[in-house]
Structure 1
Amino acid sequence: MKNSFKLIPFIVLLSGCQGFLNVQPELQVDESQSITNSSTAEAAVNGLYNRLGSDGYYGSNFPSLSYLSGGDIQWTGSQSAPQEITSRKLTADNGYVSSAWQAIYRTILQANYLLETVPALNDPQLTADRKNQIQGEAYAIRALSYFDLVRGWGGVQLILKATRTPSDNTGIARSSVADTYAQVLKDLTAAEPLLGSTTSRNKITRKTVWALRARYHLYRQEWDQAETYASKIIDDATNYKLAKPYSAFYANNVAATTESIFEVAYTNSFKNGNYNWWLPPALSGRREWAPNAALVTLLNDPNVGGNRKDLIAQTAPPGNLWYGKLYYRTPLGTDPAYIIRLSELYLIRAEARAQLGKTTTALADLNAVRDRAGSPLSQASTKDALLLAIEAERQVEFPFETDRWFNLVRTGRVATVLGITDANKYVLPVPNSEILADKSLTQNPGY
Structure 2
Amino acid sequence: MKTLKILIFFLITIVTFSCDDYLDLEPISEETSANAYDSATQIEAALVGAYESFQSSEYYVWDNILFQDVRSDNCYAGGDNPEIFQIDYLDIEPTHSRLFTHWSNIYNAISKANLVLDRVDLVEDQLLTDERREQIKGEAYFLRSYHYFTLVKLWGGVPLILSPVTSTEAESVNIPRSSIEEVYAQITSDLELAATLLPDVYGSDANINKARATAGAAHALAAKAYAQQPSPDYTAVLQHINDVESSAANYVLIEYSQLFDGNNYNNAESIIEVQYLGGNEGNYGPQLLLPPSISGDSWRKFVTPSVDIVNAFDAEGDTVRKNASILFESVQWVDEFWGNNPGSSIPFSYKWKNADGFASSDRQYLLRYGDIVLLKAEAFNELNQLGSAISEVNRIRDRADLPDLTEAQSNSQETLRNTILKERRLELFVEGHRWDDLARYNVLVSTMNNLEEIDLRNGNAVNYNMTEAKKLLPIPQQELDRNPALVQNPL
TM-score if structure 1 supplies the norm length? Answer: 0.89
Aligned residue for 1:289?
303
Query: Is the 1:278–1:288 contact (alpha carbons within 8 Å) kept by the matching residues of 2?
Result: yes
Aligned residue for 2:250?
239
Q: Map of 1:169-318 to 2, 5 A cutoff?
A: 169-198=172-201, 200-220=209-229, 221-236=232-247, 239-244=250-255, 246-268=256-278, 269-284=280-295, 287-301=301-315, 303-304=317-318, 306-316=320-330, 318=343
Q: Distance in 1 between matches of 2:2 and 2:172?
A: 28
Which piece of structure 1 moves more, 325-334 or 174-183?
325-334
Which piece of structure 1 moves more, 229-238 or 33-42?
229-238
Return structure 1 stretches of 4+ with deviation > 4 angstroms. Answer: 27-30, 235-238
Q: 1:96 to 1:31 in 2, by over 3 A?
A: same
Higher Cα radius of gyration? 2
1:120 aligns with one of 114, 122, 126: 122
Which piece of structure 1 moves more, 93-102 or 384-393?
93-102
What do you get for the CA RMSD once the two structures are aligned? 2.3
Q: 1:312 to 1:179 in 2, by over 3 A?
A: same
Secondary structure in 2 aligned to 1:59? helix
Q: Distance in 2 between matches of 1:238 and 1:437?
A: 45
Query: Is the 2:262–2:353 contact (alpha carbons within 8 Å) kept by the matching residues of 1?
Result: no
Q: CA deviation at 1:106?
A: 0.9
Q: 1:238 to 1:437 in 2, by over 3 A?
A: closer
Return the letter of the residue paired with 1:311.
Answer: S
Aligned residue for 2:414?
384
Q: Distance in 2 between matches of 1:154 and 1:30?
A: 37
Query: Is the 2:200–2:247 contact (alpha carbons within 8 Å) kept by the matching residues of 1?
Result: no
Q: Map of 1:43-82 to 2, 5 A cutoff?
A: 43-82=45-84
Q: CA deviation at 1:237?
A: 8.6
Q: 1:252 to 1:197 in 2, by over 3 A?
A: closer
Q: Distance in 1 between matches of 2:198 and 2:164?
A: 22
Aligned residue for 2:445?
415
Query: Is the 1:67–1:405 contact (alpha carbons within 8 Å) kept by the matching residues of 2?
Result: yes
How many residue pairs align between the two structures?
Answer: 424
Q: Are positions 1:163 and 2:161 aligned together?
A: no
Aligned residue for 1:368?
395
Return the letter of the residue paired with 1:402.
Answer: G
Q: Distance in 2 between matches of 1:390 and 1:422?
A: 24
Q: CA deviation at 1:4?
A: 2.6
TM-score if structure 2 supplies the norm length? Answer: 0.81
Q: 1:360 to 1:435 in 2, by over 3 A?
A: same
Aligned residue for 1:424?
469
Q: What do the CA deviations read for 1:107-164 (whole angstroms, capped 9, x no partner)?
A: 1000000000111001111111111111110011101111111111000000111123
Which piece of structure 1 moves more, 278-287 or 425-434?
278-287
Query: Is the 1:234–1:346 contact (alpha carbons within 8 Å) kept by the matching residues of 2?
Result: no
Return the letter of the residue paired with 2:238.
Answer: E
Q: 1:110 to 1:238 in 2, by over 3 A?
A: closer
Q: Distance in 2 between matches of 1:333 and 1:441?
A: 39
2:2 aligns with one of 4, 10, 23: 4
Q: Distance in 2 between matches of 1:340 and 1:355?
A: 22
Secondary structure in 2 aligned to 1:173? coil
Return the letter of the residue paired with 1:265.
Answer: Q
Q: What do the CA deviations read for 1:34-92 (whole angstroms, capped 9, x no partner)?
A: 32211111111111111123242311223421112112110121011210010111111
Aligned residue for 1:13?
none
Q: 1:63 to 1:34 in 2, by over 3 A?
A: farther
Q: CA deviation at 1:299?
A: 2.9
Query: Is the 1:231–1:349 contact (alpha carbons within 8 Å) kept by the matching residues of 2?
Result: no
Aligned residue for 2:42?
40
Aligned residue for 2:353?
328
Query: Is the 1:204–1:262 contact (alpha carbons within 8 Å) kept by the matching residues of 2?
Result: yes
Q: Are positions 1:347 and 2:361 aligned together?
A: no
- Indicate the percent of aligned positions where both proteins have the same amino acid: 26
